[in-house]
Structure formats: structure tokens, C-alpha cells
Amino acid sequence: MKKQILLFIPILLIAVLLYSFKKRVTSEKHDYAVSHLDARTEQKVDSVLALMRVNEKIGQLVQYSGKWDATGPSSSNGDQHKLDKLKNGEVGSMLNIASVATIRETQKIVMEHSRLKIPLIFGYDVIHGYKTIFPIPLGESASWDLDIIKQTAAIAAKETAASGIHWTFAPMIDVSRDARWGRIMEGAGEDTYLNTVIGVARIQGFQGNDLSSTSTIAACAKHFAGYGFAEAGRDYNTVNIGEYELHNTILPPFKAAAEAGVATFMNSFNDIDGIPSTGNKVLQRDILKRDWGWNGFVVSDWGSIGEMIAHGYAKDKKQASEIALNAGSDMDMESYAYEAHLETLLKENKITMAQLDDAVKRVLRLKFQLGLFDDPYKYCNEEREKNDVYTKEHLAIARDGAKKSIVLLKNETKLLPISKSIKSIAVIGPLANDKDAPLGNWRAKGTYNSAVSLLEGVKNAVGKTTKVYYEKGAELTIPTVKPGENQFLHPLKFNDTDTSGIPAAVEAAKKAEVVLLAIGEDAFQTGEGRSQTNIGFFGVQQQLLEAVYKVNKNVVIVLMNGRPMDISWAAKNIPSILECWFLGSESGNAIADVLFGDYNPSGKLPVSFPHNVGQEPLYYNQKNTGRPYSPSHVTYSGYIDAPKTALYPFGFGLSYTTFEYKNLKLDKKEIAKNGEIKLSVEVSNTGTRDGEEVIQLYIRDLFGSLTRPIKELKDFKKIMIKAGETKTVNFIINAEKLQFYTINKKWEVEPGDFNVWVGGDSNAKLKATFSVTE
């Protein structure tokens, strides 16, 4: 292999001399893009491009899966076809191959047989951990802790890279406002700003400061764009939004990702206003590559180029390929469209060589940045794979991230925290001793049944004198496939009739001082293709809940789920509720840390919880209508059978202590459009425990060239405040927080009047006003 690399180096050097490097001219607004490039890398990219034949160029835009059924429908192309293409240097990337041994062997096919020996880049869906599994992204977003989010992404990258993989298809930064949509679990929820800062933190964690490091991997901002706004919460569905909603609500996290130097983008399955995102030139070529000056490459989602036929937008894969490449979709994931048709399209002048070269250069650029041209096997190190995956250090951070993601929704009778010297506890529910569900969906290489269960966590925490009773009470699902099978082959069948386990659960509840009731969702109720019209408790869980509560009022619901749920009955009747999401490998220990007071819960909801599913899509930053909400009059924009507001609002989360906000001050009441205001507020811990609080800043532009939301999150700070302590927290209000995409089709600050609130959730009441002048 070394001999082949040495033979290739002189060819590159000669090509560099023959092929002059063209300096890229950019405007000042594109400086952030240039910072991620360097002239030496661009020379290398151009030199390789100069050596390539058309079929080899097209091959760099082809991505194959290493399995038939890993992340999408089965392929009709056989293994021999893929093998021949690999040997001919007509494949640029593989996904779903995960281990040093298999990646080395696959890379070897290209390096030993192809003409130019351009290395493959290997990708995998590493969404919330590789082998060490962290909370699902929606759950981890509830931590509002950017440091821990960056840290868990960095660990996921280290384990992924140690297993030979170069690239993850994460983070998902789709703003998601509909609890019915299964993929809401994969992002940061309903708010644009929160998605933006969390998305950037994850990108920084995955990519670090050096993509050539064997501890980092390339990230992928997805899905570009609008996927989270699928009509009726139905996956892959049509998206109906206007230009201004697109720019103000959906695109900001993606622009921030581009500015943060994210290596790749993935387009989305949906259409927007009749144009599938995979074929949307305005999104990909105009906004992303031209206006934002971004230099990475765009990969299609699984088969989405070919799916433009089903959309009714292309008559066949040839036309789909033409549309996609012209629109700026660079790499074809498993459509087999580019490999079949790009060369013909080039001859027919339906695509240009300049377009093809641009796409190929983007792919080559990342391979150079990863260091694959220097050593195609640099990530294939068996010692790293053995020593850097699923370590004690990684599990400790998984526990830390998990406990910070828990949200205390209700603690009416101060049932929590529980004393470790309590005499008896009943741990009940279909999820109480489940060691698999806490891993959640999209669990990469997480081992089936490897999580710490709630029951295990409780037993680890309490003393020997505490009696722990356990009863399952009910089966949530009826198994239909083998454990650990592919998520897309996991049809769910719920136990809707068998209540035979409830009597034993009731007897256990009678004997215990406190009941921990673990209910919620199956791990595979959320994720891709997991849309639901019912977001309540499936199976006989509600019957179990009511039966247990009837005999013991000291019930703590330990909610495990991947979406906002309808828990209205529980919220009305049960004294304590902990939102625990799917917390990953250390789930049970992390929950026990909170239950027994070793950690004071600090999580805040990244999504609003509804009173019922009829409120969906539900989000805090709505706009006023001409008839704003008024509970005293029937002809308002609300419901006659339910509140308009959330059961638990965005940003909400309780603590074992209490916080008081006071003395909100602005250093000035009027500023110019480019000016700034210094805001200060005093936050006091008025309870008896030290605790962390997320201080949230919201702003409303009262009048604009477009109607504006009633309130928007613009900043937050998570700080520790000791019992009895008061801290002064400072924020800066400037143009960045006040601008929006206006009627003039540009981002700007409009003069006018503004409200600003500071508090512990989106219902913050402490308010001040200011104005902006020309």
C-alpha cells in the first residue's frame, strides 16, 4: 500500500505544476467560508480533478449502502454491481459499514484496483452516541447546557472515528412544532434560536478544531429544508410555508451551521410550495452555496433523488438527476441515478462540466481535510477501536448528560427528592426494568439491552434496608421481530387488552411508601416514519396508572418518551412527574440521581406539552390574529373545548429549590438600529438547596413590516445559584437579537417599540420596554 501511495505522489506533484491554482475571490460577507479553506488544499483538489475522467468524477458523487435494509427501502442493485463500481473508482462514499475490519477491506478494494486510488469516505447515522449512547437529541436539548451537548458529540465522534468511520449524518436542526411527527425526537424542538445554538454546539463537538484528527468526524446539517414542518406531522409530507417563514424560522439554524464550518448538508424528503427540496435550486445553489458562500457538499437523503418521480416532479431518474445536479445536490445517496445518467446528461448539455466539477471538488475537498489522501487507512486502527469505545469515562459523561436532561414537570406535595433511607419503594411499569427502551431510536451501535434500567438505578442508589418491590404491570408492546433488528423492520403491535399484570402491580403499590411508575412510549414509537395521531399512553398504561393511584397517592411518574405527550390526566391527578425522555446507556443511574436528590433537576422543556393532540402543532412563539386570545369572549382565536395555551410551556422546568426574578433594568430605553442595550436582572435562590437555573430572555417586536411573533427566545444563560444567594445576570440586546427577514427581503432591524421579558420559561412575566430609532 505504501508503494502505491508513493507512486501516486509524483503524479500529484506533476499535476500541480500543470494545473494552475485559481484563486477564489470572495466578498467580505463570505469571509467565514474562506476561513475553512486554504490554498494548499485547493491546489491538491484541483490537481486531482485534472487527472479524473468523467466516469471517475461521477463516481465521486455516488454513495452506496453496505447493507440492504439499514436506513431505507431495499436496493434492487446487487453486491456484484457495487463491487465492480468500487474497483473502477466509480464510488465516492459508503454508508452503514461500521468496524475497522470491514472499512479497511472495503477501502482496500478501491486502493488496490482503481486507477486514481481516490479513497472512500464512510458515513453512519451517529445521532446521539455510537456505542456509548447519550440522551436522544430532543431530551439532551432539555439540558439547555451547550457544554455537555458539545462534550457528548465529541465523545460520539471519538468512538465513531475509532471504529473507522469518517462522517455522521447529524445534527438534525429542523425546527419541529408538531408532536405527531416521529422525528421530533431527533432535533432540539420548536424554537429557532435553541435549534441554532444547540446545532452549532453539536457540530463543534463532532468536528472539533481539526477534521484531520482521528478523534473527530465530519458533521452533516440536516434536513435542508423545512422537513420539521411536514403537513399534519406525517413524515415525508408536503410543507406549506411562505418565503418569510422559511427565512425567519427554518433557515437560521442552517445558516449558523454553514458559518460554523459544517462539512456537509443533507437535503430533505419534503417539497416546499411544490418543489422537492432535493431539486430546489433556490435553497441549495442560490442560498446555501452562493449567498452563504458555503464550500462543503450536499448529500441527498436516502433515495430522495429518485423519489422526485413519486413526487410527480420528474418523469424518470434521468430527469431527476438533471434536476438534482442543476439544483446543487452533490452526492446521490442510494438512488443509483447519477451513476446511470450524468454522463449522458453531460453529452446532451443538460448539465455542465462546471457543475459536475464543482460537485466533485466539494467531495474531494472534504477527503483532503480528513487526511484520507495522506493515509486512506488512518482511521483503521484496531487499538483505538478496542480502547476508545464504550469506556468508563464515556459512561460517566453519559450519566452527567442524562441527569441534566431530566425535567421536573410537577412536584406538588414535595414528594421528591426521596430519602435513600426510605423503608419501601414500588418500581412499577412496562418500562421500569426495560434495559433497551432507554437507548431510544437511532442508537447507532448501541448494544441491545445494554442500558441501566430504572429498577437497577434505584437498587444501586438505596441502602440495604430499603425494600424494593417490582412489578411490570403491563406489556407495552407485543414483540414482532428479534431483539436488535433494524428499526425500519420493527413494526409495533401494542398490548391493548391484556390487563392481567395490573392486580400484582396494585398489590405492590399498596405495600410501598412511594411508587415509581415508569410509563411512556416504546423506543421505536419515535424516529423516522413514526408519526402518530395519538400522543397519549398506548396499550393499557392509563388503566395501570389509574389503578395504582387509586391505592397509593404517593406516585411519581417516570416518563420515558421521544415526543411531547398528552399527559393531561396525570398532570391533574399525580403529585410528581419527571420527564425522562430516552436517556441512553446510563439512564437508570441518572434518573436515580434526581429521584434521590443527588442532583437537583435543572432541565427545561425544548417543546410545549399540549392538553391534547388537537392543539398540535403547538408552539409558544405564535403570532397574534386580528382577534387575539381572550378567555372571556367566544369569538377569539382559540378553542371552546380546550385552552389555547400549553399544559407545560416551552422553557418550563421545576427544581427542588425556587428562584425569584426581580429588578429588571435596561441601561437605556432608546437605541439606534446599530446600538445596544445592557440588560441586568437579579435572580435569587429562595429555597434551601443549591440549584441551576436557565435564565431566559424573550423579545417582542410590537409592530413590523411583517406580523411578528408574540414572543421569541433570543438568549439564555444556565448558572448555578447557591441556596439564599442572589446573582445579577447580564445580557446584551443588539442588532443580532432584533433583526429579522423583512418585507424588503433582507435581514435588518426595523425602528419601533419592543418588549423584553426575563424569566424561567416562556411565560416569563418580568418585563421592560424600549424603542429603536432610525
3-class DSSP state for residue 126? coil
Rounded CA gap, 419 and 596, in Å?
6
Judge contact between 31 and 38, C-beta under 8 A: no
Give 138's DSSP letter: H
pLDDT at 14: 36
Rounded CA gap, 223 and 226, in Å?
7
pLDDT at 26 over 50: no
- Cell 436506513 appears where? 71
**What is the percent of the chain where pLDDT is above 70?**
93
**How much of the chain is in helix, strand and coil states, percent to nearest 5?**
35, 20, 45
Judge contact between 179 and 565, C-beta under 8 A: yes
Q: What is the mean pLDDT of the chain?
A: 93
pLDDT at 483 over 80: no
Amino acid of residue 713: L
Rounded CA gap, 449 and 439, in Å?
8
pLDDT at 634: 73
Rg from Cα positions in the chain: 27
Which pLDDT band, with edges at 50, 70 and 90, does 32 fall under? very low
Rounded CA gap, 618 and 556, in Å?
26
3-class DSSP state for residue 414? coil
pLDDT at 27: 34
Rounded CA gap, 598 and 400, in Å?
12
Instruction: Identify which has the larger pLDDT, 508 or 627.
Output: 508
Which pLDDT band, with edges at 50, 70 and 90, does 637 fall under? confident
C-alpha cell at 706: 411583517
Identify which of 763, 415, 400 has the alpha carbon closest to the alpha carbon of residue 578.
415
* Overall size of the chain counted in residues: 774
- Give the per-residue SS3 of 703-747: CCCCCCECCEEEEEEEEEECCCCEEEEEEEECHHHHCEECCCCCE
Identify which of 702, 708, 705 has the alpha carbon closest to the alpha carbon of residue 742.
705
**Ramachandran region of residue 332, left (φ > 0), alpha (ψ -120 to 50) or beta?**
beta
Q: How many CB atoms lie within 10 A of CB 274?
A: 10
pLDDT at 12: 43
Residues 6+ apart with CB under 8 A from 321: 305, 332, 337, 338, 340, 341, 342, 345
pLDDT at 73 over 60: no
Angle at 657 between CA 656 and CA 660, to 5 degrees: 145
pLDDT at 487: 63
Rounded CA gap, 178 and 292, in Å?
29
DSSP calls for 493-562: -B--S--TTHHHHHHHHHH-SEEEEEEE--GGGSSTT---S--S--TTHHHHHHHHHHH-S-EEEEEE-S
Rounded CA gap, 709 and 663, in Å?
26
pLDDT at 34 over 50: no
Judge contact between 583 and 594, C-beta under 8 A: no
Q: Average pLDDT, stretch 317-332?
A: 98
3-class DSSP state for residue 741? strand
Q: Average pLDDT, stretch 35-47?
A: 85
Q: How many CB atoms lie within 10 A of CB 212?
A: 13
Alpha carbon distances (Å) from 715 to 37, 324, 771: 31, 37, 19
pLDDT at 78: 65
Instruction: Evaluate whether the domain defined by 659-773 bears CATH number 2.60.40.10.
Output: yes
**What is the percent of the chain where pLDDT is above 90?**
89
Q: Which CATH number fits domain 397-615: 3.40.50.1700, 3.20.20.70, 1.10.10.60, 3.40.640.10?
A: 3.40.50.1700
b/e per residue 531-562 (b: at least 16 CB within 10 A): bbeebebbbbbeebbebbbebbebbbbbbbbb
Residues 6+ apart with CB under 8 A from 182: 235, 525, 526, 527, 528, 529, 530, 531, 532, 562, 563
Which pLDDT band, with edges at 50, 70 and 90, does 70 fall under? very low
Each residue of 409-446: pLDDT tens digit?
999 999 999 999 999 999 999 999 999 999 999 999 99
pLDDT at 67: 62
Rounded CA gap, 384 and 71, in Å?
27
pLDDT at 7 over 60: no
Judge contact between 220 and 203, C-beta under 8 A: no
Q: Average pLDDT, stretch 25-53?
A: 71
Q: Where are the domains of the chain?
A: 397-615, 659-773
Give 410's DSSP letter: E
Give 752's DSSP letter: E
b/e per residue 718-730 (b: at least 16 CB within 10 A): beebeeeeebebe
pLDDT at 37: 65
pLDDT at 1: 43
pLDDT at 600: 98
Q: Average pLDDT, stretch 101-105?
A: 96
pLDDT at 550 over 90: yes
Q: What's the farthest any 2 CA atoms get from each other in the chain?
A: 84
Q: Which helix (H) or strand (E) holds 356?
A: helix 353-369
pLDDT at 24 over 60: no
Which of these is catalytic: 301, 388, 593, 761? Answer: 301
Residues 6+ apart with CB under 8 A from 609: 409, 564, 565, 567, 646, 647, 648, 649
pLDDT at 30 over 60: no
pLDDT at 712: 98
pLDDT at 438: 98
pLDDT at 137: 98
Judge contact between 250 and 226, C-beta under 8 A: yes
Q: Average pLDDT, stretch 190-213?
A: 98
C-alpha cell at 280: 430546489
Specify the pairing of strand 555-560 against strand 332-333. Answer: unpaired
Identify which of 107, 175, 106 has the alpha carbon closest to the alpha carbon of residue 617.
175
pLDDT at 93: 98
**Bridge partners for 276 per DSSP:** 271
pLDDT at 317: 98
Residues 6+ apart with CB under 8 A from 102: 66, 164
Which pLDDT band, with edges at 50, 70 and 90, does 484 fall under? low
- Cell 449502502 appears where? 65
Identify which of 538, 559, 467, 452 has the alpha carbon closest to the alpha carbon of residue 508.
467
Rounded CA gap, 700 and 321, in Å?
44
pLDDT at 638: 87
Give 260's DSSP letter: T
Identify which of 121, 115, 90, 86 has the alpha carbon closest to the alpha carbon of residue 103.
121
Rounded CA gap, 399 and 395, in Å?
6
- Per the annotation, the verdict on 286 as an active-site residue is no
Rounded CA gap, 317 and 206, in Å?
34
**Bridge partners for 297 per DSSP:** 264
Which pLDDT band, with edges at 50, 70 and 90, does 74 fall under? very low
pLDDT at 489: 66
Which pLDDT band, with edges at 50, 70 and 90, does 406 fall under? very high
Q: Average pLDDT, stretch 345-354?
A: 98
pLDDT at 185: 98
Give 383's DSSP letter: H
